[in-house]
């Protein structure tokens, strides 16, 4: 039997009356529009068996319901090529796109004249840092000046750029709903099933004429997080020698290693897809390398000659839409590429690292022995001063291995730092005897390295370890001692003349030592929320950063060790600008 859509017939009749009627005399009154065109997408289950409607876009997530063959659904989102977000009789979830036939048409709907939407959430309780598999109850009340047609809560995975979970409730306009308690959606929001990594929670309110995001909150789920989205797996990779798979296995212990200066890596982008960003992570700081970009049929677009004066490990390059091929080569045969990624246009995550070299004079330099000390013992220092707009540089003295380097960079990136850290690379070895520790690194070698960094980057303020090495770690002690000596030697022309001739002298303004009792201050501001940190405190951001040190979680924690060795407490041991008075800012008196 042929079916008629009476709403469409009524709309068509109304349009005919409008065009056939005599032209109205122009007045100062605006005639309201009673109908508007809305694009509507519907889907039909195209299989002969039932299909699972899942809570999340993967086969491991829970099943909301099983859809009958031929069932009709409202299509909500098709941005994921493999999974389609749909609504079936009020149940929202994901269906495998291959089991769904989607059709789109234009429907005319009545426009209701009302005031501009003013909606907000009162009493919101949202997550900040969640342990994996932990439950959470979202709280808050949505208020609106206009009748609410729907309230939707979405959680997006910031690494995969996919919707991790969603819940929604709809209302008829006539119900005049202007208040909604978010806990009503609690049963459809399984926070305990969220994968580790960065997430963003959004609350969206829809009225008859507007759709507005009334709450947006970033949070973090601890645990071993996945790599961010990349299309490198769909690219064709060719190497003249070495193992190409080692560049895409998400393991920092493996790498493509060139056998000669003539060896190359060639990446060909998949047909019909546009690359927007190339990232290269080397096993160690490369002396130099070349990135050649080409278009169709190998037509040259640009050749990048990287000399790497800042001794960086990680590089990122924007790609234009016409790039179809990338060729990488290096004369540094002792180095290799451990991770290679190509990000697709429109799919670059906020967590994708795009490090910048150190530029200009440095405001704050943090000397950390190991990769994790910079947050565990110096707490919110890095995120707080990055949020203040300071040029912050982190120096790591010991080489704890390439995977620990990667964890450190993940942690610093989460803290908002965009300036590539410095890895000095001394051997990491915990010795019971302090003199043996000094002999391992060499006192003059250590001093020379620190003096050179101070002269080269000219920091105003330096922060480093407790004199006693926090819990007695001898390499912490040596780092602290070397920095205390180096700040004076950096201002003396007779000390380490090579770096003096290259960079000149430098006298820093202030040196703070962790836990030092003289001229002590407690940076309680680290526990105060900052708008620049999305409402989190610097301590919370540092805790998220420390969660990136996955290998260290079973040994240390911010909640335990960061409190035991209070990472807010410092003593001013050296100053050329006077003692602190307010004692709430490491840059007090620094002009």
Question: Using the 8-state DSSP alphabet, how is residue 296 labeled?
Answer: G
Retrieve residue 216's tokens: 């947006």
Terminal C-alpha separation, the chain: 83
Mean pLDDT to the nearest integer, 216-229 = 92
**pLDDT of 501 strictly over 70:** yes
CA–CA distance, 589 with 587 (Å, rounded to integer): 6
Mean pLDDT to the nearest integer, 508-513 = 98
Mean pLDDT to the nearest integer, 446-473 = 98
**pLDDT of 436 strictly over 50:** yes
- Judge contact between 469 and 370, C-beta under 8 A: no
Mean pLDDT to the nearest integer, 394-403 = 98
Per-residue pLDDT reduced to its tens digit, 80-105: 888 999 999 878 889 999 999 999 98
Residue 541's φ and ψ, nearest 5 degrees, are -65, -40
Question: Using the 8-state DSSP alphabet, how is residue 312 labeled?
Answer: -
CA–CA distance, 158 with 351 (Å, rounded to integer): 7
Between 291 and 11, the higher pLDDT residue: 291
CA–CA distance, 171 with 528 (Å, rounded to integer): 39
CA–CA distance, 479 with 473 (Å, rounded to integer): 10
Q: Which residues contact 465 (CB under 8 A, 6 or more apart)?
A: 367, 368, 369, 373, 377, 476, 477, 479, 480, 513, 514
Per-residue pLDDT reduced to its tens digit, 48-65: 999 999 887 888 777 889
Q: Mean pLDDT over all residues of the chain?
A: 92
- Judge contact between 571 and 516, C-beta under 8 A: yes
User: What are the E-state strand segments in 234-377?
Assistant: 236-239, 264-268, 275-282, 289-294, 300-306, 314-318, 325-329, 337-344, 364-368
Measured CA to CA in angstroms, residue 46 lies from 52, 158, 347, 530 at distances of 13, 32, 29, 51
3-class secondary-structure state, position 332: coil
Mean pLDDT to the nearest integer, 356-381 = 97
Q: DSSP string of 383-451?
A: HHHHHTT--EEEEEEEE--HHHHHHHHHHHHHTT--BPPEEEEEE----S-HHHHHHHH-HHHHHHHHH
- Strands 264-268 and 236-239: what pairing? antiparallel
Lowest mean pLDDT among 74-78, 458-462, 478-482: 74-78
pLDDT at 64: 87
Q: Which residue matches tokens 């390439």?
A: 402
- Alpha helices per DSSP H over 267-401: 373-376, 381-387
In the chain the domains, ranked by start, together with CATH numbers, are: 33-110 (2.30.30.40), 119-221 (2.60.40.2550), 232-344 (2.60.120.260), 364-575 (3.40.50.10320)
Per-residue pLDDT reduced to its tens digit, 288-304: 999 999 999 999 999 99
Mean pLDDT to the nearest integer, 335-339 = 97
3-class secondary-structure state, position 128: coil
Give the confidence band of 254 by pLDDT, cuts at 50, 70, 90.
Answer: very high
CA–CA distance, 293 with 276 (Å, rounded to integer): 12
CA–CA distance, 95 with 82 (Å, rounded to integer): 9
Instruction: Tally DSSP H helices, then E strands, for the chain.
Output: 11, 30
**pLDDT of 128 strictly over 60:** yes
């Amino acid at each position: 039997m042929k079916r008629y859509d009476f709403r469409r017939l009524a709309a068509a009749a109304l349009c005919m009356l409008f065009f056939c009627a005599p032209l109205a005399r122009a007045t100062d009154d605006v005639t309201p529009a009673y109908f508007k065109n809305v694009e509507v997408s519907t889907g039909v289950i195209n299989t002969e068996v039932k299909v699972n409607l899942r809570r999340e876009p993967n086969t491991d997530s829970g099943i909301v319901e099983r859809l009958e063959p031929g069932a009709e659904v409202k299509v909500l989102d098709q941005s994921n090529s493999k999974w389609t977000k749909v609504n079936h009789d009020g149940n929202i979830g994901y269906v495998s796109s291959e089991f769904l036939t989607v059709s789109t048409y234009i429907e005319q709907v009545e426009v209701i004249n009302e005031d501009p939407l003013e909606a907000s959430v009162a009493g919101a309780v949202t997550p900040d840092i969640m342990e994996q598999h932990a439950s959470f109850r979202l709280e808050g009340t949505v208020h609106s000046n206009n009748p609410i047609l729907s309230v939707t809560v979405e959680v997006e995975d910031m690494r995969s750029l996919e919707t991790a979970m969603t819940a929604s409730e709809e209302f008829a306009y006539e119900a005049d709903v202007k208040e909604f308690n978010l806990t009503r959606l609690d049963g459809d929001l399984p926070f305990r099933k969220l994968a580790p990594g960065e997430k963003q929670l959004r609350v969206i309110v829809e009225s008859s004429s507007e759709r507005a995001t009334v709450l947006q909150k970033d949070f973090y789920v601890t645990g071993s997080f996945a790599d961010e989205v990349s299309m490198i797996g769909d690219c064709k990779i060719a190497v003249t020698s070495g193992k190409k798979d080692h560049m895409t296995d998400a393991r920092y212990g493996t790498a493509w290693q060139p056998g000669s200066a003539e060896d190359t890596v060639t990446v060909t982008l998949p047909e019909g897809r546009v690359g927007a960003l190339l990232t290269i992570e080397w096993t160690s700081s490369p002396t130099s390398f070349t990135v050649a970009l080409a278009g169709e049929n190998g037509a040259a677009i640009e050749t990048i000659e990287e000399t790497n004066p800042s001794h960086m490990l990680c590089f990122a390059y924007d790609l234009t839409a016409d790039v179809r091929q990338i060729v990488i080569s290096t004369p540094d045969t002792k180095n290799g590429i451990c991770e290679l990624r190509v990000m697709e246009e429109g799919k670059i995550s906020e967590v994708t690292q795009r490090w910048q070299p150190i530029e200009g004079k440095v405001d704050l330099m943090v000397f950390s022995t190991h990769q994790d000390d910079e947050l565990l013992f110096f707490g919110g220092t890095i995120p707080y001063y990055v949020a203040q707009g300071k040029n912050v540089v982190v120096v790591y003295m010991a080489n704890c291995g390439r995977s620990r380097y990667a964890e450190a960079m993940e942690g610093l990136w989460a803290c908002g730092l965009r300036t590539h850290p410095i890895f000095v690379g001394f051997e990491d070895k915990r010795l019971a005897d302090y003199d043996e520790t000094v002999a391992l690194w060499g006192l003059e070698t250590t001093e020379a390295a620190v003096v050179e960094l101070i002269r080269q980057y000219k920091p105003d303020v330096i922060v480093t370890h407790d004199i006693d090495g926090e819990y007695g770690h001898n390499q912490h002690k040596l780092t602290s001692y070397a920095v205390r000596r180096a700040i004076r030697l950096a201002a003396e022309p007779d000390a380490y003349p090579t770096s003096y001739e290259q960079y000149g002298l430098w006298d820093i303004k202030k040196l703070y030592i962790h836990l030092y009792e003289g001229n002590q201050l407690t940076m309680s501001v680290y526990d105060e929320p900052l708008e620049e940190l999305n409402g989190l405190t610097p301590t919370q951001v540092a805790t998220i950063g420390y969660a990136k040190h996955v290998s260290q979680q079973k040994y240390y924690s911010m909640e335990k060790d960061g409190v035991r060795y209070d990472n807010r407490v410092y003593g001013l041991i050296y100053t050329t600008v006077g003692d602190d008075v307010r004692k709430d800012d490491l840059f007090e008196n620094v002009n």
